[in-house]
Structure 1
């Protein structure tokens, strides 16, 4: 497996690509698993279970993206301390983030288990889907503790540039996950609960693999007794970075819950179509998310080494590559929507036209989301989490308001149009902030010998 990558010197483009490819492979593998898992559910359980899975995932994804957001936010500090070569401080920060984020995850899991029926009613879950959705989430919520453990450890590995190790462990857990899902669902007939059991146990496996590898191969990350203290300064820093990143993700997915509620009120066919288009979107968005992570890691390590102009050059090169990929996906979604949604919906004559119309409308705006990913990586890397939070909140407000205003007249297409308008708004916001930043208004990128940038 690869060693950690020092990104503070050498050719920028090749380093970004080397950093990004394992991240991309991991994200694509994750989405491929979600796709195959959905096909297993639809084939062996049925269309209602597939729709229930879509509703359940709107709740589950809120947890996942808050957890991953918090872990990614905290990992910016790991990358920065790694760039400084300050390993004792890095280990203390790992302990603090583990206690704070892990403890918060536990509390959230308990509360959601207690109030799950009320939550599902709040998002207008149809009565015919309530039993399957509840059964799935009861198991998955317990597995969120394992999801935290994996994301916490994997984010640490990625922050030091060791992206291949996390990829290998994810690959092993996904292979196990698919096998377990087939056995539990197709052979043992455990239904949607079998899917949840396979997913949760796979998260536990991936977390254990990461932990064993870090203890055996990366001794400088091994937390010792002397590191186990809740240092107030690190608590404030970790809370600032992790909480704002988590708030960014939670605002996005709380908005998506509200959008899911609007879709649930259209029809079961619309729910199935939306679930299928979400699968397509999640798969293609994996490319933008991977570029965002790579840019953030590159920028953060160079910030820690006080290579501020190199950090900005890395962002600009990453921006160009990511935008080109986004344009390519806009073209693909516009030209080939039917086979994409038919993969999940089979020959469903009611749902397929809804999904095709959705993707064709979204295609006009799709590349803008990749521009947004580039900016998020830049601002996350320099520690300006507040900018990513404000931009995401602004975007989701546009999406939610637009959906509810237009859904009566446009149906599912209202979600696609509102999503596109949200991307327009966030790109305008981020571009304006960046141009002001370059002109030294409100914030500026210091020279190599200048003072460190402001914290989030």
Structure 2
């Protein structure tokens, strides 16, 4: 979960920047920005994965993972981290589609990867008897397919692969980091709080851990609605502000507040 904070921060930054370009009707910069942020997302995923693989044992010991679960946790964590860059590219690409108001394709992408994840997990765990490793491999394989589909959709929409400029644009990366740092810090604080609570739960043993994780899954399910509303307001608001439609922005804030109450 800690490693997701960086991906989440980058995803939010990408949504905001693409929304601003669309609001400004700056079509020329969309292909360049798409290419830059996808490459930057992938590299960030690789760096985080390398650090995570080496730090994983220390992190698990810090949060008091039981000895009888440590081996399985390390297997899953290392395989998952090995494919983390795919998740970064997938999340970044899906954020671009969402910001470009192509929410249906973004939804279908998420639905596709979720279904594939379930199928691959069943195949690797039940069919091939690979256990925890199979679960991690199924997730990464689903994310690989999702990332490839995302790149195909973005290429069809923005033709970023045909862009002849530099892959990395320093100005765009600076803009991404300017937004991503506070967003990542916010998510890291929330995630760290969850990890801290997890460290208090882990000493009680396997049964309590399973129950706690199950409750977290249920809570996260109900949080999806509010997170989706917040992301939508962020994207839509940035487009309105960039287009200098301040009255529309005020109305969107008022409507969101009334629906949330």
For the aligned pair, the TM-score class normalised by the smaller chain equals over 0.9
What CA distance in whole angstroms lies between the structure 2 residues aligned with 1:94 and 1:172? 22
Residue in structure 1 matching 2:53, options 108, 113, 134: 113
**Higher RCO (Cα < 8 Å, 6 or more apart):** 2
Q: Match of 1:265, SS? A: helix
Residue in structure 1 matching 2:77, options 99, 123, 137: 137
**Does residue 1:312 correspond to 2:250, yes or no?**
yes
What CA distance in whole angstroms lies between the structure 2 residues aligned with 1:227 and 1:74? 18
**Does residue 1:219 correspond to 2:158, yes or no?**
yes
Q: Deviations over 1:162-197 (max 9, x none)?
A: 111111122222222211111111121111111111
Unpaired runs of at least 5, structure 1? 1-60, 324-456
**Does residue 1:299 correspond to 2:237, yes or no?**
yes
Paired position in structure 1 for 2:215: 277
What CA distance in whole angstroms lies between the structure 2 residues aligned with 1:157 and 1:82? 12
User: Compared with structure 1, are the counterparts of its residues 305 and 227 closer, same or farther at alpha carbon in structure 2 (3 Å cutoff)?
Assistant: farther
Shift of 1:88: 2.2
Equivalent residues in 2 for 1:331-410, closer than 5 Å: none
Q: Deviations over 1:17-75 (max 9, x none)?
A: xxxxxxxxxxxxxxxxxxxxxxxxxxxxxxxxxxxxxxxxxxxx222232022122222
Q: Deviations over 1:269-312 (max 9, x none)?
A: 33222111101101111111111111111101101101123112
Aligned length: 261
Q: Deviations over 1:110-149 (max 9, x none)?
A: 0111122111101111111111111111111112111011
Residue in structure 1 matching 2:28, options 82, 88, 91: 88
Q: Is contact 1:88-1:227 (8 Å) kept?
A: no
What root-mean-square deviation, in Å, do the aligned CA atoms of Structure 1 and Structure 2 show? 1.8
Shift of 1:247: 1.7
User: Compared with structure 1, are the counterparts of its residues 78 and 223 closer, same or farther at alpha carbon in structure 2 (3 Å cutoff)?
Assistant: farther
Q: Match of 1:124, SS? A: coil
Paired position in structure 1 for 2:180: 242
What CA distance in whole angstroms lies between the structure 2 residues aligned with 1:144 and 1:320? 38
What CA distance in whole angstroms lies between the structure 2 residues aligned with 1:207 and 1:194? 20
Unpaired runs of at least 5, structure 2? none
Equivalent residues in 2 for 1:13-92, closer than 5 Å: 61-92=1-32
What CA distance in whole angstroms lies between the structure 1 residues aligned with 2:42 and 2:187? 17
What CA distance in whole angstroms lies between the structure 2 residues aligned with 1:227 and 1:310? 36
**Greater helix content:** 2
**Does residue 1:203 correspond to 2:143, yes or no?**
yes
